[in-house]
Amino acid sequence: MAPDAPAPAPRLHVARLALRDWRNYDAAALALPPAGLALVGDNGQGKTNVLEALYYLNLFRSVRAARDRELVRFGAPAFHVSAEVEGSPRHCLRVGVGYESASQRKKVTLDGVEVTRLSDAVGAVPSVLLSPDDVQLVRGAPGERRRYLDVALSLTDRRYLHALQRYRHALAQRNAALRAALGRIDDAALASAAVFEPTLAESGALLLARRQAWVERAAPRYDALLAAIGERAPVKLALRRFGAGETDEAALSRALADSLASHRASDARRGTTHGGPHRDDVQLLLDGRDLRSFGSAGQQRSAALALRVLEAELLRDGLGVAPLLLLDDPFAELDAGRAARILALLGDRELGQVVLAVPRGEDVPRALGHLATVPVHGGALHAD
């Protein structure tokens, strides 16, 4: 049985998406019904590019780790993506972003007004993307799971976002100072690295505390979700982090400051900061063993999809609006039973507007058969 569903949240509704010189699209516009739609077409025709454009309006960077210049259609000088939205947590009706290759300048606008800080627009079109590539959340390196945490928490917690920005900036500066000290590790060289440690300790402590708090809240839900999908073995979601015995933010800050100071010389010999939130990992255990090494392919995919459902629930609860749900044929490699149970869970959670991408019409799951269909071919959208 699925976990008890909370009261429905208002849905974000992307009413219209417009693309110009984006990936393989010259110019395209798409009207989206409140329930969403299904993009149907062969691989390589542009379905995923539409999902990527919608997700780009969430973080203003590619979900596929592509650089902005790689998103510009071949031979074009710039791209532009815009959307008309209802229910945005940033209280705007239009979101737009353009990037020019020659100047490498990105311009983001809300209701036609350029934002001065990108962080002021992040999350204007909150979305969660589910795809077969999500298995890397389980199989991949710790950085994949840290990024998962950072994205979800940054979208729902402005203090977390600002602390993450400060931490990354100070970490880059300390590492640069450590690299400069290689070969001449003296008091002056070490002092240049120490300058950035108070910022690392203060901002890092907030990251550690907020990550731990979320994992503790999410762990029972993760267990319940996998049980509902059909996993019978006991599962566990945990956080392996610096200062595992500390929970108080002030205590974490002191512990992190002491650690940075005591490891300063050894960090200088390595040319990098060895300890802190940038080394955290989300542990996914199955019957007490690392799911990354011991889980079957089906179990790993189910665990990854459960993490995405948790992400969608966090955005819904934290932003007060159900996020856009982008489905890039995520059930293609799952057996029919698991796929049906996951779809039932998504329906029970009262999640947001759905945009589904599949190769053929018959690949649209029965539970999503109500979605309008839009054929995609050669970078062109054909409303059906």
> Which structural domains are found in the chain, ordered by start?
1-126+328-384 (3.40.50.300), 137-320 (1.20.1050.90)
- Strands across the sheet with 281-286, in order? 235-240, 281-286, 289-290
pLDDT band at 349 (very low <50, low <70, confident <90, very high): low
For the chain, give the percent of residues with pLDDT over 70.
96
Which one, of 327, 323, 381, lies nearest residue 59 by Cα? 323
Angle at 9 between CA 306 and CA 309, to 5 degrees: 5
- DSSP track, 111-134: TTEE-SSGGGTTTSS-EEEE-GGG
Would you say 167 and 204 are in contact if contact means Cβ atoms under 8 Å apart? yes
Alpha-carbon gap, residue 336 to 17, rounded angstroms = 32
Averaged over 290-306, what is the pLDDT? 92
Give the bridge partners for 20, in sequence order.
27, 80
**pLDDT value at position 2?**
44
**pLDDT value at position 319?**
94
Residue 160, CA distances (Å) to 170, 203, 297 in order: 15, 9, 33
What single letter denotes the amino acid at residue 179? R
What are the E-state strand segments in the chain? 13-22, 25-31, 36-40, 78-86, 94-100, 105-110, 113-114, 127-130, 235-240, 281-286, 289-290, 324-328, 354-358, 372-377, 380-381
Q: In this model, does residue 334 exceed pLDDT 80?
A: no
At 218-250, the pLDDT tens digits run 999 999 999 998 888 999 999 999 887 778 999
Residue 379, CA distances (Å) to 20, 38, 73 in order: 11, 16, 11
Q: Are strands 281-286 and 289-290 parallel, antiparallel or unpaired?
A: antiparallel
Alpha-carbon gap, residue 231 to 306, rounded angstroms = 11
Q: In this model, does residue 365 exceed pLDDT 90?
A: no
**pLDDT value at position 384?**
47
For the chain, give the percent of residues with pLDDT over 90.
78
pLDDT band at 326 (very low <50, low <70, confident <90, very high): very high
Q: In this model, does residue 313 exceed pLDDT 50?
A: yes
Alpha-carbon gap, residue 152 to 123, rounded angstroms = 10
What single letter denotes the amino acid at residue 108? V
**pLDDT value at position 350?**
64
DSSP assignment, residue 72?
B
At 87-137, the pLDDT tens digits run 999 999 999 999 999 999 999 999 999 999 999 999 999 999 999 899 999
Across all residues in the chain, what is the average pLDDT? 92
**pLDDT value at position 246?**
79
What's the first-to-final CA gap in the chain, in angstroms?
36
Identify the residue with better confidence: 50 or 378. 50
**Burial class of residue 259, CB neighbours in 10 A (0-12, 13-18, 19+):** buried
What is the radius of gyration, based on Cα positions, of the chain? 22
Alpha-carbon gap, residue 120 to 268, rounded angstroms = 36
